[in-house]
Amino acid sequence: MADCRQLLQEGCAALNLEISEDKVTKLLSFIDLLAKWNKAYNLTAINNKQEMVGLHLLDSLTVLPYLNGQRIIDIGTGAGLPGIPLAICRPDLNFTLLDSNAKKTRFVQQVILELNLPNAQVIHSRAQDFQPATGFDTVLTRAFADLSEIIVLVRHLAAINGKLIAMKAKCSEQELGKVSLPKDIIPVKIPGVAAERNLVCISL
């Protein structure tokens, strides 16, 4: 894991993120658990831990500077991405990780227990069925559909002045044109990853 630690530390430096050693250790423990459970649960197509550092950890951490408020929800968290890495790095914020796949939510619950993350909770539900008592300041998702469709599915989860951050590969003008809400497109470069990445921040 020494190679993974170096990759993660260098990647965080490239992203101008100051991550303490204990948090680096927890992040690496997370991909340890992911690699272990992946053999039985098929949580991710990526099996190599060094690739997980870039495509899972650093990819998730690009969102850190753009989080808004205290209450964050990660829609379609899957194996806990980006929610778990963000919860590790921001213990002062509250994270809700939502997914409709029971196998994946069981894994995420185990991660929360093993890594002692009291600021994270798991919800097994579809986004459209979840009715929280209080809205969320930031709604996070890896873009799983057209932006206009995502907004319809998650808008009820946002607090007043809440923000949606959709993690996308490419953003077509046609797709962006369907969104009339105020929005910012932030290109992000993930160290060691050649693929295009963008954060689409939408005021809900």
What's the whole-number mean pLDDT along residues 2-12?
A: 93
In the predicted model, what is the mean pLDDT of residues 162-170? 94
User: Which domain does 174 fall in, by range?
Assistant: 2-203
Largest pairwise CA distance in the chain: 47
Tell me the per-residue pLDDT of 95-140, one tens digit each, with 9 for 90 and over.
Answer: 999 999 999 999 999 999 999 999 999 999 999 999 999 999 999 9
Predicted pLDDT at 131 = 97
Per-residue confidence (pLDDT) for residue 178, from 0 to 100 = 92
Query: How many domains in the chain?
Result: 1
- Give the Cα separation of 102 and 157 in Å (integer): 21
**pLDDT over 90 (residue 71):** yes
The amino acid at residue 194 is A
Q: What is the pLDDT of residue 64?
A: 97
Q: Report the predicted TM-score, pTM, of the whole model to 2 decimal places.
A: 0.96
pLDDT at 91: 98
pLDDT at 194 over 90: no
b/e sequence 136-156, b meaning 16+ C-beta within 10 Å: bbbbbbbbeeebeebbebbee
Whether residue 2 has pLDDT greater than 90: no
Neighbours of 15 (CB within 10 A): 18
Residue 156: give its domain's CATH number. Answer: 3.40.50.150
pLDDT digits (tens, 9 = 90+) for 14-60: 999 999 999 999 999 999 999 999 988 889 999 899 999 999 999 99
